[in-house]
Amino acid sequence: MSALPPSVLRLIETFSELPGIGPKTASRLTFFLLRGESDLALRLAQALQNLKTQTRLCSICYNITEQDPCLICSDPQRDRTTICVVEEPLDVVAIERTEHYRGLYHVLHGALAPMEGVFAEHLRIAELLRRVESGEVREVILATNPTSEGDYTAAYLLAKLRPLSVRVTRLGRGLPVGGDLEYADQITLTNALEGRREL
C-alpha cells in the first residue's frame, strides 16, 4: 500500500522508464512539477503530445521534421549534389551550427552495433542507396561518429556506395576519437568537414 495517489505514482514510474533516470530522480521531478508554477506541467504535457503528433521523419533524409519534406530538403538554396550521412538528428544540428555546409543530409538513426542487436536492416541504409542511385548525387560525406561503431558503419557504407560511381569522403581527422559528433565544437567540426578525405 502506497501513501501516494495513483496519478503521482504513475508519473514517477513513467519517468523511471527514461534512460538515465532512477526512482529517486523520477520522484524529484514529479514533486517539482506538482509543486511548481501551475502551467509548467501543462506546457510539458502539451510539448510531449506535440512531440509525437506533430513530428514525423522526412521522407527524403529521415531527419525529424514537422513538415515533409523537411526545411533543409525543400530549401532551393541547398546543394542537392552532396549528401552528408550522420547517425542521429542531433548531428545535423551540430553540422548546421558550423554554417559551413550547404548540402543535404541523410540520417541513419544509429550505427551498426552487432553486440547491441543493431544491423544494417535496422538503419536507413537501403533508403540512402536508393537516393544515391536516383541520380543527382555526386558526393556522399560519411559523417558517422569517430567511434569503432561509426567507423564500422562508414566502412560498410563505402563498400555499398563504391559501385554507384559517386565520390565518397570521410570527415577529416581532429575529431576526438571515441567521441560523438554532437559534442564537437564548431571549429573542430568545420575543420573536419573541410579536411574531409576521399575514400
Partner 1 sequence: MRIRSLSLENFRNYIRLEMEWPEQPVLLVGGNAQGKTSLLEAIYYLATGRSPLTGMDRQLINWTAEQEGLSYARLRTEVVGRHQVREIEMVLSVSPNANGIPRLQKSIRVDRRPQRLRDLTGCLNVVLFLPQDVELVAGPPAGRRDYLDATLSQVDRTYAAALETYGETLRERNALLRHLAEEGGDPAQLDPLDERLARSGVVVAQGRHRLVGELSRHAGPFHAELTGGQEWLRLEYHPNFDPASPPALTYQRPLLVEPGGLPPGVSLEDLERAFLQRLRQRRREEIERGMTLTGPHRDEVRFRVGDVDLGLFGSRGQQRTAVLALKMAQLAWMQEIAGEDPILLLDEVLAELDEARRAALLSLVDRVEQAILTATDPEMFSLAFRQRAALFRVEGGIIRPCERAV
**Distance between CA atoms of 162 and 62, rounded to whole angstroms?**
22
Q: Tell me which stretch binds Zn ion (CB under 5 A): 59-67, 121-129, 136-144, 177-185.
A: 59-67
Annotate each residue in 135-164 with x if it binds partner 1 (CB under 8 A) or - if it does not, as one string: -------------x--xx--xx--xx----
5 lies in the binding site for partner 1 (CB under 8 A): no
Nearer to Zn ion, 18 or 93 (CB): 93
Residue type, 168: V
Paired with 175 in beta bridges are 173
Minimum Å distance from CB 116 to Zn ion?
26
Q: Considering CB distances under 5 to 8 angstroms, the limit depending on partner class, which of partner 1, Zn ion, none binds residue 115?
A: partner 1
Give the integer Cα–Cα distance in Å for 137 and 79.
10
Rounded CA separation 116/61 (Å): 24
Q: Report which secondary-structure segment, H or E, holds 65.
A: strand 64-65
Task: Give the residue, chosen from 5, 6, 19, 135, that forms a contact with partner 1 under the rule CB under 8 A.
Answer: 19
CA-CA distance, 171 to 54, in Å (whole number)? 33
Residue ranges binding Zn ion (CB under 5 A): 58, 60-61, 69-70, 73
